[in-house]
Amino acid sequence: MEQFFSYLISGLSTGSVYSLVALGLALIYRSTRILNFAHGDIATAGTFVAFTLLTMRAPFSLAAIVAILFGAILATGFYFVILVPAQRRDATQLGQITLTLGLGLILQGLILYFGGAEPQSFPFPLSEFKLYKIGEIHISQLSLGTLGISLMACLLFYLLVQKTRLGLAMRATSENLQAAQTLGIPTRRVLALSWGLAAGLGVLAGLFLAPALLLDPFFMLEPFLKGFAAAILGGLNSLPGAIVGGLILGVAEALTGGFISIAFKNTLAFLIIIVVLLVRPEGLLGVEFKERV
Amino acid sequence: MDLIESYREELQLIRKPWTRVWVGALVVALVLLPYFTPEHLVYVATIVSIYAIGVQGQNILIGYTGQISFGQAGFLAIGAFTFGHLTRLGLPWPVTLLFAGGISGLFGVLVGFPSLRLKGPYLAIATMGFGIAVYQIFANSEVLSGGRMGLTVPKLTPPFGLSKIAFMYYFNFSIALLMTLATYNIISSYMGRAFIAIRDNDIAAEVIGVNLTRYKLLSFAISSFYTGVQGGLYALFIGYLEPNMFTFMESITLFVAVIIGGLASVEGSIMGAAFVILVPQMFSSFKEMIPVVFGVTILIILIFEPLGLAGRWFKMRLYFRNWPFR
């Protein structure tokens, strides 16, 4: 039973990071119908910026903030410089998805060139080996911090979307673009902001994943794909769904890794994708189309 | 485009006598390639012809039927490992090659079932999940992947005293040529037109009498058959298989080839295959920059030339044909 709870806690902590990745994906999908294949690479780029600053002996908080801003600016720039001109030329949905793929490839190459392919360890103020004991359960400082910060980020994000005027504009834009434009909402700026926010969440997830995994140019690929799985599980166009999906995926992974087999752990996410899409394509909390053949 | 007056003309692969000359000259030049080029180029041309098969298959699915697939690496792995295991059992290569295509075609039908309900991005994710799941199954199962040392595939012995490289080139080139002819015929037949109708508007296609279920599944089956054959030929050419050859990046490479070459164009598929093989060869001293080149090309092509290299080629021909008029 203790074992079960410790798996549960570590699963929740990994799951909260997946939630962050999934939130970014769902936010962009909801407002622009684009699957952002560059999400993982933007996060990696941001984390590398943080790493470079840390090796230059910058304080961690400064490095983290700069990294998140860097990711946000990168994504906003991509939206304005590439996506908007493409949309002006009537790019199809597939074309726009492919554009993000292109951005991902470019970032991947640049990170490889500047960052090097060697895995490096990421200096982090929280330690993975310092354990706290709550009741009978051991929990590491890192996973406690991850869980705390991620849940806080989710909460702040929720408040932003649900309780502010900006959030209202974001929801309106994702609900109906033309109507929002008619009402005088600057949709292009709102969408650019959504891209920036999503990328910022991705970089935050990257910062918390880097100490546990080693930092190399491809370290975000797997968490990114799992974030995808989480977003699908919760429903691609539902923000609470992304959070719930991430937590469920994290716990499910930790439990299968602990009780069934470690080899099966990584395949689980992709099985979840396929099963969810076959049985309930709109996900747990999503509402979308139903189509018959 | 040209004016087509009869159904016979529509079915013709080559409409103008001069085109016949050009295409004939091109094929002859490609056949004579091993005699006047260095061995290295022949090697590259072999890989291009192997890839051209898979890219054509992918183009049938993405370009003609409009179903996105990011899972081609899965089919590639299934084809390659089927080929490897059956060859080791001692079956002759034509049988194993058919099996490689056939079994991956079967899996294509299985993956095609979600496509009946899913659209656009959702289908992309489902196929991506399939591709990665296949990779991980191969990576985690020693029986399937041939253990830690990988799976060695026995090579063919060249007949008629040909050198090894020239023989592999002729072997793969002739199969690629056959598959290209097959693609042209699929595209211009009822089946191809049904695919295009599904891409343009599936409900309208169904109303006209195209059986959506059958033709979507057929498109998946054909595309994964092509990819399976590519996997088999690749296994035979390299002579060695391990799961790491079939990661998500491989799916991306095939997808990039389709986009760069041009959606819904057979010539485009071949150009795209040549692009994704030749560029890494040219940039072999800056390996890190290869993804950057791919990415930048994708951005340029999607923004300025959505029809890809084939579209550019077509516009160039049109320009010269209409010259001096624009």
Taking contacts as CB-CB distances below 8 angstroms, the residues of chain A near B68 are 94, 97
Domain membership of residue A26 as a residue range:
2-279
Boundaries of every domain in chain B: 43-248
Tell which A residues from 228 to 257 touch B, by Cβ distance under 8 Å.
228-229, 232, 236
Q: Which token pair is A210?
A: 């880097």
Give the closest residue to B72 by CA, choosing from B51, B86, B93, B87: B51
Domain-embedded: residue A286: no
Is pLDDT above 80 for A242? yes
Q: Which single residue is written with the structure tokens 């799951």?
A: A15
- Give the pLDDT confidence score for residue B1 in this predicted structure: 54
Q: Does A103 touch chain B (CB under 8 A)?
A: yes
pLDDT band for position A128 (cuts 50, 70, 90): low
Domain-embedded: residue A292: no
Q: What does the pLDDT look like over A261-270, one tens digit per residue?
A: 777 777 788 8
Q: Does A109 touch chain B (CB under 8 A)?
A: yes
pLDDT, one tens digit for every residue, chain B (326 residues)? 567 777 777 777 777 777 788 888 888 888 787 788 888 888 888 899 999 998 999 999 888 888 888 888 889 989 988 888 888 887 888 888 898 899 999 998 988 887 777 777 788 888 888 888 888 888 877 777 776 677 777 777 777 767 778 888 888 888 999 999 899 888 888 888 899 898 888 888 889 888 888 898 999 999 999 999 999 888 888 888 888 888 888 888 888 888 888 888 888 889 999 988 888 888 777 777 888 888 888 888 888 888 888 888 888 888 888 878 87
The count of structural domains within chain A is 1
Taking contacts as CB-CB distances below 8 angstroms, the residues of chain A near B125 are 35, 228, 232, 273, 277
Q: Are B225 and B236 in contact (CB under 8 A)?
A: no
Determine the Cα–Cα distance for residues B62 and A24; give it in Å rounded to an integer.
27
Lowest pLDDT segment from A64-73, A130-139, A233-242? A130-139
Contacts by residues A126-131 (CB-CB < 8 Å, ≥ 24 positions apart): A126/A211, A128/A211, A128/A212
Look up the CATH number of the domain holding residue A225.
1.10.3470
Is pLDDT above 80 for A275? yes
- Give the pLDDT confidence score for residue A293 in this predicted structure: 45
Domain-embedded: residue A241: yes
CB atoms inside a 10 Å sphere around CB B307? 17
Query: What 8-state DSSP symbol labels residue A134?
Result: E
Q: Does B116 touch chain A (CB under 8 A)?
A: yes
User: Which stretch, A42-46, A117-121, B146-150, has highest mean pLDDT?
Assistant: A42-46
Taking contacts as CB-CB distances below 8 angstroms, the residues of chain B near A293 are 116-117, 212-213
Instruction: Indicate if the alpha-carbon torsion angle B119, B121, B126, B130 is positive or negative.
Output: positive
Cα distances (angstroms) measured from residue B278 to each of A141, A184, B120 = 50, 50, 30
Q: Which token pair is B164?
A: 């090894």
Question: What string of H, E and C letters represents the secondary structure of chain B?
Answer: CCCCCCHHHHHCCCCCHHHHHHHHHHHHHHHHHHHHCCHHHHHHHHHHHHHHHHHHHHHHHHHHCCCCCCCHHHHHHHHHHHHHHHHHCCCCHHHHHHHHHHHHHHHHHHHHHHHCCCCHHHHHHHHHHHHHHHHHHHHHCHHHHCCCCCEECCCCCCCCCCCHHHHHHHHHHHHHHHHHHHHHHHHHCHHHHHHHHHHHCHHHHHHHCCCHHHHHHHHHHHHHHHHHHHHHHHHHHHCEECHHHHCHHHHHHHHHHHHHHCCCCHHHHHHHHHHHHHHHHHCCCCCCHHHHHHHHHHHHHHHHCCCHHHHHHHHHHHHHHHCCCC
- Give the pLDDT confidence score for residue A288 in this predicted structure: 61
E strands present in A64-157? 131-134, 137-140
- Give the pLDDT confidence score for residue B147 in this predicted structure: 67
CA B81 centroid distance within chain:
18
Q: Are A5 and A228 in contact (CB under 8 A)?
A: no
- Give the pLDDT confidence score for residue B163 in this predicted structure: 77
Taking CB atoms and an 8 Å limit, are B119 and A291 in contact across chains?
yes
pLDDT band for position A292 (cuts 50, 70, 90): very low
Q: Which single residue is written with the structure tokens 């560029």?
A: B279
Taking CB atoms and an 8 Å limit, are A270 and B213 in contact across chains?
no
% pLDDT > 70, chain A: 96
- Letter for the amino acid at B5? E
Taking contacts as CB-CB distances below 8 angstroms, the residues of chain B near A108 are 291, 295
Determine the Cα–Cα distance for residues A210 and A122; give it in Å rounded to an integer.
6
Q: Which single residue is written with the structure tokens 């340029």?
A: B300
Q: At what angle do helices B190-200 and B212-238 cross, to 10 degrees?
A: 110
Give the closest residue to B125 by CA, choosing from A39, A213, A239: A39
Q: Does A93 touch chain B (CB under 8 A)?
A: yes
Smallest Cβ–Cβ distance between B295 and the set A103, A112, A113 belongs to A103
- Give the pLDDT confidence score for residue B224 in this predicted structure: 92
Pairing outcome for strands A131-134 and A137-140 = antiparallel
Residues 6+ apart with CB under 8 A from A47: A67, A122, A203, A206, A207, A210, A215, A219, A220
Q: Alpha helices of A164-213 — where are they, by DSSP H? A: 165-175, 177-182, 187-209
Taking CB atoms and an 8 Å limit, are B292 and A109 in contact across chains?
yes
Lowest pLDDT segment from A105-109, A198-202, B131-135, B152-156? B152-156
Whether omega before B324 lies within 30 degrees of 0, making that bond cis, reads yes
Determine the Cα–Cα distance for residues A81 and A87; give it in Å rounded to an integer.
11
What b/e sequence results for A82-94 when a residue is b if at least 16 CB atoms lie within 10 Å of its CB, and e otherwise? bbeebeeeebebb
Domain-embedded: residue A288: no
- Letter for the amino acid at A76? T
- Give the pLDDT confidence score for residue B148 in this predicted structure: 66
Q: Are A27 and A197 in contact (CB under 8 A)?
A: yes
Q: Which token pair is A121?
A: 């360890």
Is pLDDT above 70 for A220? yes
Q: Which token pair is A203?
A: 């970089």
